[in-house]
Amino acid sequence: MTRTHVVNRTVGSTCNACQEPITEDTKKLRPDGTMFPECRPCINRKRRDKLALLKETDPEAHKANRDRERERYRAIRKQFLDMHNHTCRCCGETHDEFLTLDHVNGDGAKERGGNKNGPCRAYRAAIDAGPNSPDYRCLCCNCNFAIGRYGYCPHGNLPPRNASSTNELEIPPNFTP
């Protein structure tokens, strides 16, 4: 049995699974640019159900699938770190275990979509944006945490994030970069 798909499906079409309209946020595209007949939440739900069934019926296949996903994540993360010379942009930390992706505008949760899209999507977006992107940078976990929590890094090598727009704590008056 061969599968064919509708090439002229557009945003506003109805999801075949839930019968809800497919929006710009819920559409999912194939590599050839055509839309899937289901919305992204339905596709994700089907995938989760399939993985749960696989875990119950064939634990070895489930473990192999998990290992493949882990390796795919590591390869994408390594590509990001290679692009940024395996170095924290603020303090110069070079241990890969401590390095992470920072969303410069503090909008990482928005991009991850409540963690349903996973970290691979953020790393892929950062790779596509390039090493000098104004939206992404490589930071160590300490610098990333300090900027996220306090709006600035104690090393003082990065400009403070606008505390009023991100609901962060104010910069202490005794802070000197």
How does pLDDT run across 42-79, given as a tens digit for each residue? 988 998 898 888 888 888 988 898 899 899 999 999 99
In a domain, 171, yes or no: no
pLDDT over 50 (residue 1): no
pLDDT of residue 105: 84
Hey, how many other C-beta atoms are within 10 angstroms of the C-beta on 75? 11
Structurally, how many domains does the chain consist of?
A: 1
In a domain, 80, yes or no: no
In a domain, 13, yes or no: no
In a domain, 4, yes or no: no
- pLDDT band at residue 108 using 50, 70 and 90 as cut-offs: confident
pLDDT of residue 11: 77
In a domain, 76, yes or no: no
Question: Whole domain around residue 116: which residue ranges?
Answer: 87-166
In a domain, 157, yes or no: yes
Looking at the chain, the whole-number percentage of residues with pLDDT higher than 90 is: 26
3-state DSSP: the chain helix, strand, coil percent, rounded to 5? Answer: 45, 10, 50
In a domain, 30, yes or no: no
In a domain, 113, yes or no: yes
DSSP, collapsed to helix, strand or coil, labels residue 156 as coil
Looking at the chain, the whole-number percentage of residues with pLDDT higher than 70 is: 81
pLDDT of residue 81: 95
Rounded CA-CA distance 69/75 in Å is 10
